[in-house]
A and B are shown apart, each in its own frame.
Chain A
Amino acid sequence: MTIDKKLENGTWMFAVAGRLDTNTAPELEAELKLDGAKEVVFDFGGLEYISSAGLRVLMTAHKAMAAAGGGVKVLRPNAMVRGVFEITGLSSVFVVEP
């Protein structure tokens, strides 16, 4: 998994590529220093798949953002990842684009 993150106008941008599972989720979680941000955007254009361990990280981010009055946005998930969001009902929690 590769993580490329940057802060732009109070929005954290995380470009995550590869696999987000129990093995890699802790890495992503460790990168989630979200102080001062209102919104987190995950660019999953390069993500192969996501397991519940990855979802847990997204949920953690979502809770933090919701507390600050913001949210989580997911960009360019592949069919499989989109499917996971739909299965789990998280597609209604996060903003998923496109």
Chain B
Amino acid sequence: MKKRTIVAAALCLYAALLAAVWHVGTFRARAMTEALLDYAVSDIRLTMDGAIDTMLEHVAVTCIRRFGRADRYAREEVDTVAHLFDIDELCIVDRAGIVIASNDPDSLGVDMNRKEVTRPFAALTNGTTKVVAQPFRRHAYSKSRRKYLGVPFPDGDGYVQVGLDEARMPKMINAQLAFLFDVEMGETVCYLCADMNTGALVSSLSVDGETSTLDEIGFDASRAPDSDETFEQTLFGDKAFCRSYVFGGHRFIMVVPKAEFYGTRDVLMVVMTILLALVLGAFVVLLVRISNDAKRIKAFYAAEDAARAKDMEIAKTIQTSALPAPLAANPCFRLAASMTPAREVGGDFYDFFMLDPTHLAFLVADVSGKGITAALYMMTAKTVIKDALLETRDIAAAFTEANKELCRNNSANMFLTVWGGVLDLETGGVAFVNAGHNPPVKIGERVEWLADKSGPVLAFMDGVKYKSRLTHLVPGDTLFLYTDGVTEAMDGKHELFGEERLATTLSAVTSSSPDTVCGVVRVAVAAFAAGAPAADDLTVLAVKYVRRSDRFVRSFPPTQEGVCQASAYLDECLKEQPPDVQASLHVILDEIASNIVKHSGASGFEVDVEFTEDPAGVRLVFADDGVPYDPLAHTDPDTKLPAAERPIGGLGIMMVKKMADSISYERARNRNFLTVFKMAERVKGRSIS
């Protein structure tokens, strides 16, 4: 989330909340004002009504006492009493409800029970009702509204009804006002009372005892409804809510100053403004901080991911670039290998190389850990093992050496499992060492695991002495090496591919080429995993022993005796060859071997005799560890010179060059390799042991 968005959202929320508080505060204040005004109106109404009722009842009771019983009294008498008590109407009603005496001639003889409006008074004759009062209402014979109240004579023998015109109320009210305002004034509500005709204020509260009028205090009568409706006025310069109650020629006004009443809301608003600002401010700060943190964390992880991806890319490059290139085609064996890196590169690798023309070294390994560390360690391990093998030419000694070396350079505490073997192409023997690795499968007539273990994992424990085991392959047998990427491949249900499935898979390809064997296993594992991401590298290597080697390698001492032995060895190898081929090859051997013995300072030399098919012929390879010497780099001696001037040296090499069909020199692994090829008919079916 962006900072700007957060701040904007918070401001909106702030405004909305304040508006809500304002509205709730206003609504509440209005509701309370209304309630207060309602109360005030009913209060004044009850007070006034009660006061008049009390007065009229007092008058009526006095009349009852005065008259003693319901009778036909003369009009003068009734007039006198009415005048005395200052009431507008006085009637004496008999038990039957007939007005039998009255100061009002219109009322005399009226049947009270006949009219709906007067019928309630009949209750006074039942002996239990003490008083019946009616509110002011329009009266048939009077311009003013009139109020009636009746009190019975003893024993329900008729009753006295007194009536009072509203127009006569001011007097009454004046008598009541002092009491009303003294006792009933609230704190916030004030009452005003004014004469309807003159507008003169009769209440003395707000004007310091001096009589003034409604106009003077700012009251606008045109905007003052008589009904129970709240209205606004500006009184004494302040806005106020008002309710008016018109009664007895007077207007009673209940006033609630706006400022006073909205005070609560305004205080609430101030408090909420500050409080909400604080809360929302804190909230915004928190959100911004979280948002910043989230951004930082996201950026951090993005960088981390990119770095990891790059690491993986590098690791993959290292891992795949370290794998050996295919060997030159060899009729004695076929080899296929592949390594499929997992998403997170592991440390699998394989290696294969010729130790000499008749010995093939091959191995499969799995370095602990993943990623670039594993890849780098794998590089080291591969080099160390290969160097050790080339140095010692013995698989067990090589493992022992390599372990020593790897333990020495192992600050990362890595280790690796390795299965390595050396196949003797002449015999089919495989000397192997298993350093904690999955045993390989020998595919011959049966499919079987080479379960022998011969030592702990490499780079784990210094000073381990590995011992080699031996197995034999007959032509047609295949050794299948793999890493746990094969057997521990998982399907969607977390089931492992396992050794049984591997055995079944391999059973179907017992006579196939190594390429097919590796391919079939890869396909089977991929089909099994069915899209589940590979957790580990998948490495397979298959080597098939095709036929016994036609190469024969021997080592000889760097002496004339060595040359003699080499010659004898060549005889043995060539005995089936035609004499001219034999003679040529012997001359070649003699020239080169004697050269090595005389000039190279080598500790010995090897002669490798190989019969080739296409083109048919014999290939001689001379190897020595002497000083680098490329005989082909020298110019041939001039054979046209007179015999006495000829240098003898160089003649031999020239002869070799002329006699051979092809010749090449290579300096590798601190050794000189001179390969000489002589065409010849291949003699079938020969064997040498």
B654 pairs with A51, CB closer than 8 A: no
B residues 540-590 touching A (CB-CB < 8 Å)? 560, 563-564, 567, 579-580, 582-584, 586-587, 590
B580 pairs with A56, CB closer than 8 A: no
Sorting the interface of chain A by its residue count into under 10, 10 to 19, 20 to 34 or 35 or more gives 20 to 34
Residues of B within 8 A of A19 (CB): 567, 586
**Whole-angstrom distance between the Cβ of B88 and the nearest chain A Cβ:** 173
Residues of B within 8 A of A53 (CB): 590, 594, 652
A88 close to B (CB within 8 Å): yes
B494 close to A (CB within 8 Å): no
Residues of A within 8 A of B580 (CB): 79-80
A15 close to B (CB within 8 Å): no
B34 close to A (CB within 8 Å): no
B658 close to A (CB within 8 Å): yes
Provided the pairs A23-B567, A84-B587 are in contact, do residues A52 and B651 lie with their beta carbons within 8 angstroms? yes
Provided the pairs A87-B654, A89-B640 are in contact, do residues A23 and B579 lie with their beta carbons within 8 angstroms? no
Q: Give a binary string over B646-676; 1 marks a CB under 8 Å from any A CB, 0 the rest.
A: 1010011011001100000000000000000
Kindly state the separation between the CA atoms of A51 and B564 in the bound complex, as whole angstroms: 13
Residues of B within 8 A of A51 (CB): 586-587, 590-591, 594, 652, 655
Residues of A within 8 A of B644 (CB): 63, 66
Main secondary structure of the interface of B (DSSP, over half): helix
B643 close to A (CB within 8 Å): yes
A22 pairs with B560, CB closer than 8 A: yes
B639 close to A (CB within 8 Å): yes
**Whole-angstrom distance between the Cβ of B595 and the nearest chain A Cβ:** 10
Residues of B within 8 A of A56 (CB): 648
Provided the pairs A87-B654, A87-B655 are in contact, do residues A49 and B567 lie with their beta carbons within 8 angstroms? no
Residues of A within 8 A of B640 (CB): 89
Contact of A88 among B560, B593, B651 (CB under 8 A): B651
* A21: nearest chain-B partner, CB-CB: B590
Kindly state the separation between the CA atoms of A63 and B646 in the bound complex, as whole angstroms: 11
Residues of A within 8 A of B651 (CB): 52, 55, 88
B583 pairs with A88, CB closer than 8 A: no
**Whole-angstrom distance between the Cβ of B84 and the nearest chain A Cβ:** 181
B residues 621-642 touching A (CB-CB < 8 Å)? 639-640
Kindly state the separation between the CA atoms of A62 and B586 in the bound complex, as whole angstroms: 25
Kindly state the separation between the CA atoms of A88 and B637 in the bound complex, as whole angstroms: 9
Kindly state the separation between the CA atoms of A80 and B582 in the bound complex, as whole angstroms: 10
A50 close to B (CB within 8 Å): yes
Kindly state the separation between the CA atoms of A48 and B563 in the bound complex, as whole angstroms: 18
Residues of A within 8 A of B583 (CB): 48-49, 78, 80
Main secondary structure of the interface of A (DSSP, over half): helix
**Number of cross-chain contacts by CB at 8 Å:** 75
A32 close to B (CB within 8 Å): no
* A67: nearest chain-B partner, CB-CB: B644
**Whole-angstrom distance between the Cβ of B655 and the nearest chain A Cβ:** 6
A23 pairs with B560, CB closer than 8 A: yes
Provided the pairs A55-B651, A87-B659 are in contact, do residues A50 and B587 lie with their beta carbons within 8 angstroms? yes
A49 pairs with B655, CB closer than 8 A: no
B643 pairs with A88, CB closer than 8 A: no
Residues of A within 8 A of B579 (CB): 48, 80
A17 close to B (CB within 8 Å): no
**Whole-angstrom distance between the Cβ of A27 and the nearest chain B Cβ:** 12
Residues of A within 8 A of B652 (CB): 51-53
Residue among B587, B644, B652, B655 having the largest count of chain A Cβ atoms under 10 Å: B587
Residues of B within 8 A of A48 (CB): 579, 582-583, 586
* B563: nearest chain-A partner, CB-CB: A22
Kindly state the separation between the CA atoms of A80 and B584 in the bound complex, as whole angstroms: 7
A59 close to B (CB within 8 Å): yes
Contact of B586 among A21, A59, A66, A87 (CB under 8 A): A21
B654 pairs with A22, CB closer than 8 A: no
Contact of B567 among A21, A79, A87 (CB under 8 A): A21
**Whole-angstrom distance between the Cβ of B19 and the nearest chain A Cβ:** 116
B560 pairs with A52, CB closer than 8 A: no
Residues of B within 8 A of A89 (CB): 639-640
**Whole-angstrom distance between the Cβ of A50 and the nearest chain B Cβ:** 7
A93 close to B (CB within 8 Å): yes
* B571: nearest chain-A partner, CB-CB: A19
Residues of B within 8 A of A63 (CB): 643-644
Kindly state the separation between the CA atoms of A87 and B646 in the bound complex, as whole angstroms: 14
Residues of A within 8 A of B658 (CB): 87
Contact of A93 among B582, B584, B643, B654 (CB under 8 A): B643
* A83: nearest chain-B partner, CB-CB: B659
A residues 3-52 touching B (CB-CB < 8 Å)? 19, 21-23, 48-52
Residue among A19, A52, A53 having the largest count of chain B Cβ atoms under 10 Å: A52
Residues of B within 8 A of A49 (CB): 583-584, 586-587
Q: Give a binary string over A78-98; 1 marks a CB under 8 Å from any B CB, 0 the rest.
A: 111001100111100100000
Kindly state the separation between the CA atoms of A72 and B586 in the bound complex, as whole angstroms: 25
* A81: nearest chain-B partner, CB-CB: B583
Kindly state the separation between the CA atoms of A23 and B590 in the bound complex, as whole angstroms: 8
Kindly state the separation between the CA atoms of A49 and B593 in the bound complex, as whole angstroms: 16
Residues of B within 8 A of A (CB): 560, 563-564, 567, 579-580, 582-584, 586-587, 590-591, 593-594, 639-640, 643-644, 646, 648, 651-652, 654-655, 658-659
Extra 9 A-B pairs, beta carbons < 8 Å, given A51-B591, A55-B648, A66-B643: A19-B586, A22-B560, A22-B594, A23-B590, A66-B644, A80-B587, A84-B587, A88-B651, A88-B654
Residues of A within 8 A of B (CB): 19, 21-23, 48-53, 55-56, 59, 62-63, 66, 78-80, 83-84, 87-90, 93
**Top 9 A-B residue pairs of the complex, sorted by shortest distance between their CB atoms:** A89-B639, A52-B652, A49-B583, A21-B590, A51-B590, A22-B594, A80-B583, A93-B643, A87-B658
Cβ contacts A to B, 10 pairs, < 8 Å: A51-B590, A52-B591, A52-B655, A53-B590, A53-B594, A62-B643, A63-B644, A79-B580, A83-B659, A87-B658
